Every structure is written in C-alpha cells, then in structure tokens.
Amino acid sequence: MMQAGGLPHVLAAPATDPTLSDFNQLIWWMVLLKVAMVFLFLLLSTMFMIWAERRAIGRMQNRPGPNRAGPFGLLQPVADALKLPLKEDIIPLGADKLVFIAAPVISGAIAFISFAVIPWGPEVSIFHHHTPLQLADLPVAVLLILAMSSIGVYGIVLAGWSSGSPYSLLGALRSAAQVISYEIAMGLAFVAVFLYAGSLSTTAIVNAQQHEWYAWLLPVSFVIYLVTMVGETNRLPFDLPEGELVAGYHTEYSSMKFAMFYLGEYINMITVSALATTMFLGGWRAPWPLSLWSGANSGWWPLLWFLIKVYILLFCFIWLRGTLPRVRYDQLMAIGWKVLIPVSIVWILLIATVRAWRLDTHSTAPYVVFGFVIVLILVLAWMWDSAAQQRAARYAAAETADVSEAGQAVAIGPDTHFPVPPMDLPHYHGVDLGGAPGLDVGLSHTETSSREVTGA
C-alpha cells in the first residue's frame, strides 16, 4: 500500500500503554472473543486451583492428595465437574423456590463480571487488529469491582433466607456481616492508590506504576488489602460462617446450585488476586530485573508476568489454608472494625498530607494538616492504651470475685473475652439424667470424674 507521496505505508506499532480511548474502537467480534477468553481462563484457572489446592495441602499434611484420576490426579477436577450435575437436585419444602434458584445465579454471574475490567497486558495484535488485552475499562473501573462485590452479598443473604433453615439464615447473616465489614477496609486500602495514580481506571493505575510498584510506595495499603481479600472471599482463617454452622448459607444446596457457589468462591479468589496484581504489583509489567529487557513489557510477554503474579497470590491462599487455624467470630470482626479500618483512615490522612505537600510546597495548609494528623495519632494511641488498662483492671477484678451461690458463675478470662461455662455441671457426671443409656448414675462423683478423664 502506497501513501499519497509515494512512500510505503507502515502499520504503526502497537502502543505499550493503553488508554481509555483504545476501548472505543473495538469491533463486535473482538469483544466476543475477549469474553470467551475471560470465561475460559476463569473456568480453567478454577479447575487448576482446585487440583493445586488439594494436592498442595495434601503434601503439607503428609498425604498424597488426589492421585488416582489421571497422572498426578490432574483429572480430579474434571471428575468433580462431571459428578456435580449428576447429583440429586434437592429443594427444601419450606424454601422460596424462585429466590432459592436465583441466589446461586447471582453469586456466580457477579463473580464473572468483576474480572471484566482487569488488564492482562498491553496493546497487542490479534488477527491484524490492535487491541488492549482487557475486556473493558471505565473511568471508575475499580468502583465497578467494589459494586459487584456488594451485589454478591445479595446472593449470600437470599440463599440463607430462601432455604427456610435457621442454620442457613444465621450463616448468611454472618457471611454478609463479614463481607461488608472487610469490603469497607478494602475500599479504604484503594484510596491511597487513587491519590497516587490520580485515576480510578485500572489501565491508568497500571500505567502509573511504570517506574515503581505501589506495593513498595504504599506498603500499609498493600498489607491491609492482602488481609481484606482473604476475609472478602470467606477463606481460612476467616471462613467462620461455614466452619461453625454446618456449611453456612449454602447448607441446603446441592448439585449445580451448590456448584455455582463453589465456582463463585474460586473465581472471587482469582479476581481479588488479579486486582492485587493490578493495584499494587505493577499489573502486567515485568518485575526487576526482567524489566531491564526492552521487550519485557511489549507483545504477549506481559501476559506471562501477569499470570505468574496472580498464581503466586493464589498459592498464598492455599498456604494459609494449610497453615493457620480459624479465628473466633468476635476476633474476625474485631480485626476488621478495630484494626484495619482505623489504620486505613490514619494512613489515608498521612498519604493525603504527603501528596498535598509534594504538589503545593508554597502553602502552609499541608503542614497544618500534617500536624493535625500527628496529634490525632497520639490522641488515638493514648485512648487505646487507657482503654486497655481499664479492661485489664476489670478482668483482674472479675478474677478475684466470688462465685455465685449455685456454683454457676461464668468465668471471663482476660484473654478470651468469651464466657466459659463451668466444668462441674451435674450432667457431666450423669446426675439427674433419668438413667440415660450409657451413663452409670450410681457412680460417685470421684469415680465418674475419673472415667470421664481417663476413659477407664
């Protein structure tokens, strides 16, 4: 092809850093192709994640894990995917059928939508068409992900309510409270990134990390997000609703409806890992020293760096599950409301002050705000210490208090904050049980206590 001046026309090289305007020129079949790529990637990653989790935790617990279905058990997720549709689909008699069916659909669909604004790489050539490796982008793309997470809470609450079971309802309320609590801290962790990047677009945030990742510039925000993404996905050590109340909000679900919840949980893990990569780990950009190579951040190579970062974070989910025990529910909520949110607010004030000082060094306002923040931190630390001393004094007084006349006093330990029932209740020794089978009511207190402890 020749230009008007007789010079040969050369196709322009694809831009390394996409912008929002690049998404206005996509043709319809390219959009459908990207949708199919995202869908297949999430399904295949979920299958790989299920196999890797069972295999890795098996090694951590000194057992082989899946090793029968295919080489190294690689076909075990395929066997599970074939088994679930063949299970009996049970709907409880007291359930609201329409809502009961809609709840898993909401949870599964929302999980897929959230990944749409995640960038996987720069602008590349697909069938001779230059296009960004990203399905879509918005000026407020990160808010879209937070909004989808909020809508996902509806799937949890509706599943528990529509089942007609008190266990499912309590599990749904606990899960909803947990997700909402940690979603607040997650949103606050993003504020510092927005202040540095100057945009809520995921593409712009990745472009802003060209020279330095936000994981190093904003370490507090990064650590807070790592904690909140575990709580947001109901994974160990924060899977309290499922661990304490049978299976939580999806206790009454089976077959493909349960598979939708199962699929949504693992896709959410992939989404929050990809979001952590985008917001704090440079997105698809190559890490040092690979970044010294001139072609590391062009072509299809960035897709490899993006996948490596995501799978490393997914392995951390497996590592946590095989290492840490569950925390109590009061500890779970205390971490979110009493630690993560206050620390996030103070950190945002500091970051905003630093950014204002760098952008406007001639004004005294940043210095006033910085001084106010320091005073606020000192006051909060003093109040925290005073409250801790008062709690310690109350616990010391409670320990020295006399027990009640009936011997049923509740002991409150200084470290547990939880009521502990006395261990000398009559039914522990077979007293006043009406001769229940397997219990020797005629035994003396000493003999029964001996049998209870030693098993003799």
Residue 355 CB contacts under 8 Å (≥ 6 apart), including other chains? 195, 196
> Tell me, what's the pLDDT at 165?
84
Confidence of residue 262 (pLDDT cuts 50, 70, 90): confident
- 11-20, 86-95, 319-328: which has the minimum mean pLDDT? 11-20
- So what's the pLDDT on residue 221? 93
Helix (H) / strand (E) containing 123: strand 121-126
Does 455 have pLDDT greater than 60? no
The answer to whether residues 137 and 119 touch, using CB atoms and an 8 Å cutoff, is yes
Q: Helix, strand or coil for residue 229?
A: helix
Q: Residues 111-162: pLDDT tens digits?
A: 888 898 999 988 888 888 888 888 888 888 999 999 988 888 888 899 989 9
Question: Higher pLDDT residue, 103 or 16?
Answer: 103
Mean pLDDT of the chain: 80
pLDDT digits (tens, 9 = 90+) for 149-163: 888 888 889 998 998
Tens of pLDDT, residue by residue over 327-348, are 888 888 889 898 899 899 888 9
Q: Distance of alpha carbon 96 from its chain centroid, rounded?
A: 29
pLDDT at residue 383 tops 90: no
Three-class SS of residue 129?
Answer: strand
Q: Is the dihedral of CA 22, 24, 25, 31 positive or negative?
A: positive
286-295, 363-372, 400-409, 440-449: which is most confident: 286-295
Which helix H or strand E contains 410, and what residues bound it?
none
pLDDT (0 to 100) of residue 222: 95
Asked whether the beta carbons of 401 and 388 are under 8 A apart, the reply is no
Q: Which residue has the higher pLDDT, 305 or 384?
A: 305
Is 2 or 29 the better-scoring residue by pLDDT? 29
Confidence class for position 12, pLDDT limits 50, 70, 90: very low
Q: Per-residue pLDDT for 439 more than 90?
A: no
Among 274, 278, 280, 284, which residue's Cα sits nearest to residue 312? 274
pLDDT at 245: 60
Rounded to whole angstroms, how far apart are CA atoms 299 and 303?
9
Q: Which of 23, 4, 245 is nearest to 141 (CA)?
A: 23
pLDDT in tens, 233-259: 888 888 876 666 677 788 889 888 988
- Burial letters for 224-241: b for 16+ Cβ neighbours within 10 Å, e otherwise? bbbbbbbbbbbbbbbbbb
Highest mean pLDDT among 152-161, 345-354, 427-436: 152-161
